[in-house]
Amino acid sequence: MNDEMKAEEVDEWVEQAFEAHVEKFAGLIDRAKKLLNREQRLRKGSGLVRIAPQAVRSVAVIGDLHGDMESLVHILRDSDVENADRIVFLGDYGDRGEESVEVYYLILTLKVLAGAEERVILLRGNHEGPPDMPVRPHELPLLFTKKYGAQGRGLYEAVKELWEFLPYAVVVTGRYVMVHGGVPTDVTSLDDIAYARDAHPESSAFEELLWSDPIEGTGSFNSIRGAGRMFGEDITDNVLRVAGVKTIIRSHEPCEGVKVQQGGKILTLFSRKGAPYFNNRAAYLLLDGSMLREAKDAEELARRGARVW
């Protein structure tokens, strides 16, 4: 791990997140952009990050944050997160929470401090979607201008440019698939997921990765969210088979921190608290050696890996 990333420095990062002036923020975005751009080129344009389970000792997974700095700080103070070989954020960083701008500053700080080798992985959520799939309400631009005035607009536009460089799926080989929303209904190879952004909008795979939600039962139907689909166990089974994994780990839906669906095939994580949602608990996931050596179902991950507070 990088020596520069230490849990005792969380207070300092938070202070910077609240106090950074426009030029400093712009510089941070620029550094993050160069790093993300290079990582995307090394993946040959793929939006899929592969993690070899034997190459890492632990992986931390964090669900929706939606501008909740307090929850993010709580998570980063856990030394097991700090020491994790990979820290995967499942997307939805801004909007809903008052501290969306500061949450962006902090996650980009982590990204830059972690440096090479994709130690910090920031997945795309539906709140980091492509221009033709806007989310409403979208408070992030307003929060940027509220804090930074007219120059805030430029910062927002620069953050928006970052989204196109973010990956949108992780495969822990032989174990788990991680996405923000759900799995696509029509997947015949992992490349359908890896290059979903390129195939958008001709293929609905990208939209489904960012927007879909699981249901009990089989089949799929259009989501009431206005984008994505509600997908059943047969669709999950297909992706598990194609990817050669046991469990889907995703976020996107408010719940009491952690939720298990489809007989243990799907684990939902929600990592923030407060309005406008009504959950009393939030959670993140720590995949330790045993969970990386052997594929576990969502029940066991929830019981042994989820840290609920």
Find the binding residues for Mn ion in span 16-75 (CB under 5 A): none
Q: Is 167 in the site for Mn ion (CB under 5 A)?
A: no
142's CB contacts (< 8 A; 6+ apart) are none
User: Active-site residue 127, yes or no?
Assistant: yes
Phi and psi for 259 in degrees, rounded to 5? -145, 140
Q: Is 94 in the site for Mn ion (CB under 5 A)?
A: no
Question: Which tokens sit at 189?
Answer: 């190879």
Whether 71 contacts 309, CB under 8 Å:
no
Q: Is 233 in the site for Mn ion (CB under 5 A)?
A: no
Nearest to 292 by CA among 189, 202, 141, 173: 173
Binding-site member from 74, 111, 250, 252 for Mn ion (CB under 5 A) = 252
In order of 25, 140, 167, 229, the CA distances from 143 in angstroms are 14, 5, 25, 30
Q: Is 96 in the site for Mn ion (CB under 5 A)?
A: no
Q: Is 126 in the site for Mn ion (CB under 5 A)?
A: yes
Binding window for Mn ion (CB under 5 A); candidates: 24-32, 117-125, 196-204, 286-294: 117-125
Find the shortest distance in angstroms from Cβ 212 to Mn ion: 10
Q: Is 82 in the site for Mn ion (CB under 5 A)?
A: no
Binding window for Mn ion (CB under 5 A); candidates: 2-10, 99-107, 245-253, 295-303: 245-253
Find the shortest distance in angstroms from Cβ 92 to Mn ion: 4
Contacts 24+ apart (CB under 8 A), 231-236: 231/182, 231/183, 231/185, 232/262, 233/262, 233/263, 233/265, 235/183, 235/184, 235/185, 236/183, 236/262, 236/265, 236/266
Binding-site member from 53, 97, 125, 305 for Mn ion (CB under 5 A) = 125
Question: Which amino acid does the sequence have at 62?
Answer: I
Partners of 286 in beta bridges: 60
Find the shortest distance in angstroms from Cβ 127 to Mn ion: 6
Catalytic residue (one of 66, 127, 180, 200): 127
Nearer to Mn ion, 200 or 296 (CB): 200
Q: Is 97 in the site for Mn ion (CB under 5 A)?
A: no
What's the half-sphere exposure (Cβ side, CA atoms, 13 Å) at 116?
Answer: 3
Residue 303 burial (10 A CB sphere; 0-12, 13-18, 19+): exposed
Nearer to Mn ion, 25 or 277 (CB): 277
Find the shortest distance in angstroms from Cβ 106 to Mn ion: 19
Find the shortest distance in angstroms from Cβ 67 to Mn ion: 13
Binding site for Mn ion (CB under 5 A): 92, 125-126, 252
Residues forming the active site: 127
